[in-house]
Each structure stands twice: as structure tokens, then as C-alpha cells.
């Protein structure tokens, strides 16, 4: 289970809560200044509003990991 948690941490996830048998991780959404300024310039300022709306509508990713009795790891990814 520790390997799975480390793999998700490398992808940018953060641990919300954790115990010996389960863990819940969350990945915050990221604001891209490159896309923002590109859209702003290409669409004469209106593109900045478009990207801002996209960013606000974007959902955050989360994962729930559970250690099964047989030693395998069950993972469930979802949007929050």
C-alpha cells in the first residue's frame, strides 16, 4: 500500500487522511498562467474570462485506497 501512496504523491496528490488500512488523497486543481495569457492575447482579453471560467468549473481529483484482507490494494479514483 505504501508504494501506491508514494506513486500518487509523485503525481501531485496530497494526503487528506490516512490509517493503517486505508488512505484518502486529493489533487488540487492548478492554474496555468501560460494558458491564461495565451487565451488573453489570442482573444483580446475575452479569452482570459474563458480560461477563468474553465478553471473555476474544473473539478479536483481524489483517490481512496484500501488494503484488502488478502494484501492487495483497492483504489477508487473520483472527482470532487
pLDDT digits (tens, 9 = 90+) for 28-53: 888 889 888 888 888 888 888 888 88
| Percent with pLDDT over 70 in the chain | 100
Residue 12 Cα distances to 1, 7, 26, angstroms: 17, 9, 9
For the chain, give every domain's residue range: 2-79
With a threshold of 0.75, does the pTM exceed it?
no
Amino acid at each position: 500500500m505504501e508504494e501506491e501512496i508514494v506513486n500518487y504523491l509523485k503525481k501531485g496528490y496530497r494526503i487528506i487522511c490516512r490509517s493503517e488500512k486505508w488512505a484518502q488523497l486529493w489533487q488540487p486543481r492548478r492554474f496555468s498562467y501560460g494558458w491564461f495569457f495565451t487565451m488573453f492575447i489570442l482573444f483580446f482579453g475575452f479569452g482570459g474570462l474563458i480560461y477563468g471560467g474553465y478553471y473555476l468549473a474544473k473539478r479536483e481529483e481524489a483517490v481512496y485506497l484500501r488494503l484488502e484482507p488478502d494484501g492487495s490494494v483497492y483504489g477508487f479514483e473520483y472527482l470532487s
